[in-house]
Structures are given as C-alpha cells and as structure tokens.
Amino acid sequence: MIKLIYPLKKLSILNLWFISVCTLFIFSFMILFWGTRGVQVAIQGASLTLITLSLTSFANILWLYLFKKSSLSNSLDNKKVYYTISYIFSVFIFLVVIITYNYLFKQSTNLIDIVSLVVVSIFVNTLIVIFHNYFVLQDAKVNADMENTQLKAANAEAANQLLRQQIHPHFFFNALNILKSLYKLDTEAAEEYLVSLSDFLRISLSSNNIKVIPLKDELKLCENYLGMQKIRFGEALICNVTIADVMLENGFVPSFSIQPLLENAIKHNELTKASPLHISIEQKGDQIKVSNNIKIKATNEISTGIGLANLSKRYRILSGDEIIIENNGATFSVSIKILDKEAIRETYQMHA
C-alpha cells in the first residue's frame, strides 16, 4: 500500500493553476457570448468563479491537513467524515457567495437557483477532490519509487561491501598455505615471501573500501602479487601484459578484479621449469582478457570457491555486466569489461 504524504505546497500550486484556468475560461466564454457589451457581466462572472473556487479548493486542502493530523487518518469512518465535510462546506460556500452577491445587487434567488447552485457546487467539488486525490497518489508513488530505488542501491552497496570483505580472507587463506609449503622447502624464500606478503596486504588494505580503481593501479597490485609468486616458482611462472597506454590512463576496474584471476591460474595449474605456466593480461577492445595455458594439478589445493563467483557478483552489482569465461581445453580465460569515467560516475550516483 502506498503511504499517503500530503504535499500541501504542491497542492496549493495545483489549486492556483486550476482556479486561474477556470476563471479565465468563464471570462472568455462570457466575452464570446455577450461580446464587448458583456464585459461587466464577464468580470462579475469571473470574480464569482475566482471567489468560490478559491474558498472551495483551499478549504479542501485544510480538510486534507486536518485529516493528515488525525490519528484515525487511515480509517474508513474518518474518510467518510472528510468527504462529508468537504461537500457540505462546498455547497455552503456556493450558496453564501451567490446569495450575498444577489442581495448586494438586488437580484432575487429562487428555489431553482438554489438547486442549481447545489448541483454546480457538488460537481466543482468533485473535480477538486479528484484532482487532489490523483495528485496525492502520484506524488506518493513517486516518493515510494524513489525510496525503493535508494533501498535497492543501499542493498547493492551492502552486498558489494560484503563481497569485497571476502577477498582478503580468501587470498590470505591461500597465502598461508603457500607460506607453509615454502617453509618446508626453503626457509629464506619463505621469509622473503612473508615480507612481500606484508607489503601486498598493506597496499591492498589501503584500497579495501574503494569500489573501483584505475586500471594501472590494479595492474601494479598484480605486479606485486606476481613478484611474490616468482619467489616461489621462479622461471616456472611467466606473465605478459599487453595493454594500450591510453587505456592504462583512462580505464577503471573493480578493485581486486584481476589479481584473483592470477591467483586462480596459479592455484589450479602445475608449474615447472620444463612446462611453465604462461599467464597473459591483454586488452581486447573494451575488455581485459586474462588467460593461461591449462595443466591441471594431479592433486588440487583446497578451494573455497569464492574467486570467480565473487568477481561475477561484484561486476553485476557495480556495472550490470557479466564476466566472460572461456575454456577450450588448452587455454582458460576470463574477460572483464574496462569501465570508463562515465560508468564510474553513474556507479557512484547510484550508490550515493
């Protein structure tokens, strides 16, 4: 159910518009009917229209205001009282104004005139009530739609924040497994890896609350991460980056969107000097494509299943785009869209 919040100022403007149109119509109609000889009659008719409509329409706003302030504003009985008062007062206004006018100008008022006034007042008040109710419902609908949009944006931001918070535990879990393996094989390499891990976490935590970052900053994070992996794998890991300078300067991606792809490639494939893992990060139009040759490990490490699902959900929340996953048996690749400044502006406006 739409919550009715009466926009009294807007209703007042609507009243002024309605009164002006009706008064001008009556004046023009009388001029056309009587000609220049009927200017005085037209002025009198327009004046009576102005007075009766002003009192009737603004009285209805008063009843709406009192209706809003009432603790029983949503009850059926109170609505009946509102409409009853509205119509009674409308009839009263028309009768008082016209009878007073006739008295001042020494004109008679018979029963037929009174009946006609009652009918006209009911008709006019019905138009006013319809206009007011329609305007109130439309205004409430617009406000409800706006609130729903803001609520959806807030929910999307909360979901995106939760997904971002999942990245570091996911990475840290894998990093600890690697560190444990290194300490068994090479203590010095493990210590060097630990220092690099500390630097990586320091840099990444500084951008943890940022939705999107420049592409060049994401790639710097990837270079840092690959440097850590080089400590472990040496020449068994080869990575090539091919991205146009203009895209590096102007492109944006969600924070931690490329690094998890590198992590997945290293995690799930065998790396040896004889058969190194080749990872490429290349630009394909408005996409960044991260691909690697496939050489599945005989025994895979424990996976939390967060990686690609996390990235896919974040992209869908931030830009509405989907990531593209391809696997031809020899090469596995994931393509993500590069966001431009306009897309970033729309994203921040949506979540503002």
Q: What is the pLDDT of residue 200?
A: 73
Give the CA distances from residue 15 to residues 8, 12, 23, 142, 348, in Å, rounded to whole numbers and listed in that order: 10, 5, 12, 20, 39
Q: What is the pLDDT of residue 348?
A: 46
Closest by CA position to 350, among listed 146, 75, 76:
146
- Rounded-to-integer distance, Cα 94 and Cα 51, Å: 9
- Domain positions in the chain: 8-147, 207-350
How does pLDDT run across 44-69, given as a tens digit for each residue?
Answer: 888 888 899 888 888 888 887 777 66
CATH architecture for segment(s) 207-350: 2-Layer Sandwich (3.30)
Residue 233 and residue 178 in contact, taking contact as beta carbons nearer than 8 Å:
no
Q: What are phi and psi of 222, to 5 degrees?
A: -65, -40
Local confidence pLDDT in tens for the 352 residues of the chain: 444 456 777 888 888 888 888 889 888 888 887 777 678 878 888 888 889 988 888 888 888 777 766 644 455 566 777 788 888 888 888 888 888 888 877 788 788 878 888 898 899 889 888 888 888 788 878 877 777 666 665 555 545 454 454 455 666 777 787 788 787 777 888 888 888 777 777 766 665 556 788 898 888 888 888 888 888 788 999 999 999 988 888 899 887 788 888 988 888 889 888 889 999 999 998 899 999 999 887 765 555 555 677 778 777 777 778 889 999 989 999 999 998 776 555 554 444 4
Residue 201 and residue 164 in contact, taking contact as beta carbons nearer than 8 Å:
no
Chain centroid, CA 232 distance in Å: 45
Q: What is the pLDDT of residue 74?
A: 54
- Rounded-to-integer distance, Cα 74 and Cα 220, Å: 60
Q: What is the pLDDT of residue 6?
A: 61
Chain centroid, CA 121 distance in Å: 45
Q: What is the pLDDT of residue 239?
A: 92
User: In this structure, what DSSP letter does residue 237 have?
Assistant: E
3-state SS class at 280: strand
Q: Which long-range contacts (CB under 8 A, 24 or more apart) does 124-128 make?
A: 124/52, 124/53, 124/56, 124/90, 124/94, 125/56, 125/60, 125/86, 125/87, 125/90, 125/91, 128/15, 128/18, 128/56, 128/57, 128/60, 128/90
Assign 3-class secondary structure to 5-73.
CCCHHHHHHHHHHHHHHHHHHHHHHHHHHHHHHHHHHHHHHHHHHHHHHHHHHHHHHHHHHHHHHCCCC
